[in-house]
């Protein structure tokens, strides 16, 4: 009987030891995964701001810009995370496609690109869920264009100075982002944030490496503006735009 009791105690201890070893391995695996995730997030943010603060040259040197009439002004704005282009309606009034976006009675049209589910399910930041946040970042997903009208210029807008060709090139870049059906954009029916804004189907996929702000940054780069080398965040893009505005203002004073 004593031998049987000893064997039973030994077996119980071995079982407890195996269970503790298993729990320890699970905990260490979870902790390693968590630390890896935190490290990747920190690396992503660091890369975003580091590369975002690196400034592209732009297609024109400063001396040559004295001879270029940058007498058109569009704007950039942010809601704190997401940057939009804002275009005076007079610049798109005669455009065969973009003119469809103009709301009667308004003077400006704001245009942004972003994740479809994020746009439709997160009208306010308090509506943001962990599911939508991680899905937008880590899964390739469908995208939408968000178009909003404005009556007048806002103090928070940042001017971007363009010449005639740059306005045309930007219009073309924006047009190519829309899904077009018979020369009209494919609207998402019965959905709006404010009543006068609209959502349209768009080309491209929102990913961790190509965000709504990367789309704006690409548009600025396409037309030759000095902007971020790569930036998933709004602040570096806006800072470069402010510097460009200051430079253009100084050059205008030298003419």
- In this predicted structure, the answer to whether residue 159 has a pLDDT above a threshold of 80 is yes
3-state SS, residue 59 = coil
Q: What is the pLDDT of residue 67?
A: 47
- State the average pLDDT over residues 193-213: 91
pLDDT tens-digit profile of 69-114? 788 999 999 988 889 999 999 999 999 899 999 999 999 999 999 9
pLDDT tens-digit profile of 37-50? 677 667 777 888 88
Q: Which residue has the higher pLDDT, 194 or 172?
A: 172
Highest mean pLDDT among 1-5, 124-128, 207-211: 207-211
Burial of residue 172 (number of CB atoms within 10 Å: 0-12, 13-18, 19+): middle
Beta strands in 116-254 (DSSP E): 141-150, 158-162, 180-181, 184-185, 198-206
Q: What is the pLDDT of residue 63?
A: 45
Q: Which residue has the higher pLDDT, 152 or 11?
A: 152
Q: What is the pLDDT of residue 59?
A: 66
For the chain, the domains span 62-254
Task: Report the relative pairing of strands 108-115 and 141-150 from DSSP bridges.
Answer: antiparallel
pTM of the model: 0.83
């Amino acid at each position: 009987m004593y031998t049987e009791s000893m064997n039973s105690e030994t077996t119980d201890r071995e079982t407890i030891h195996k269970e503790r070893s298993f729990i320890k391995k699970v905990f260490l695996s979870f902790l390693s995964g968590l630390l890896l995730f935190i490290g990747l997030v920190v690396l992503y943010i660091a890369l975003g701001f580091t590369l975002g603060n690196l400034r592209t040259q732009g297609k024109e040197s400063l001396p040559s810009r004295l001879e270029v009439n940058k007498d058109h002004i569009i704007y950039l704005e942010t809601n704190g995370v997401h940057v939009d282009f804002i275009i005076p309606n007079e610049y798109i009034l005669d455009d065969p496609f973009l003119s469809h976006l103009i709301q009667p009675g308004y003077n400006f049209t704001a245009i942004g690109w972003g994740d479809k589910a994020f746009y439709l399910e997160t009208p306010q930041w308090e509506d943001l869920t962990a599911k939508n946040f991680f899905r937008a970042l880590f899964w390739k997903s469908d995208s939408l264009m968000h178009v909003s009208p404005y009556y007048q210029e806002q103090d928070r807008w940042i001017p971007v100075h363009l010449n005639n060709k740059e306005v045309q090139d930007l219009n073309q870049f924006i047009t190519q982002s829309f899904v077009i059906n018979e020369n009209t954009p494919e609207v998402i029916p019965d959905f709006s944030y404010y009543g006068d804004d609209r959502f349209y189907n768009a080309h491209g996929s929102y990913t961790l490496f190509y965000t709504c702000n990367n789309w704006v940054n690409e548009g600025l780069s396409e037309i030759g503006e000095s902007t971020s080398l790569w930036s998933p965040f709004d602040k570096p893009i806006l800072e470069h735009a402010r510097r460009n505005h200051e430079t253009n203002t100084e050059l205008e004073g030298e003419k």
